[in-house]
Amino acid sequence: MLAVVYALENFRSYLIMNKSIVYTDHSAFKYLFAKKDAKARLLCWHLLLQEFDFKVIYTCGAENYAADHLSRLENPYENIFDPKEINETFPLESLNKVAHKDP
């Protein structure tokens, strides 16, 4: 559900005046608008989603081949950066030089 909210927020300029179809494997998502008592976060999302004209179609995860395939792909960019140690101890003189540097 957060992915749908994120996508609609970020592509608002393209989707605001157009009819859209949302295919999701989140079965409770289509019942969000019928629910009266909801938590604050859900109410905020509900207000955001009211701006858009879209229809929610539920497809179970096994039938949603594109999303299922993409979610199982390995990320080639994962762990390409070696973790670096952060030096948190600086001599006081070097900090004073930076703090009192003339323009």
Q: How many residues does the chain have?
A: 103
C-beta of residue 62 within 8 angstroms of C-beta of residue 37: no
**Separation between Cα atoms, residue 50 and residue 13, nearest integer Å:** 15
Which sequence spans correspond to the domains of the chain?
2-75
Q: Quick one: pLDDT at residue 103?
A: 58
Q: What angle do CA 21, 23, 26 make, to 5 degrees?
A: 130
Contacts of 99 (CB under 8 A, 6+ apart): none
Helix (H) or strand (E) holding 49: helix 40-49
Q: Consecutive sets of 10 residues in the chain, 103 residues long: mean pLDDT of each? A: 87 90 81 74 83 87 77 76 72 66 59
Q: Quick one: pLDDT at residue 33?
A: 72
Q: Quick one: pLDDT at residue 74?
A: 84
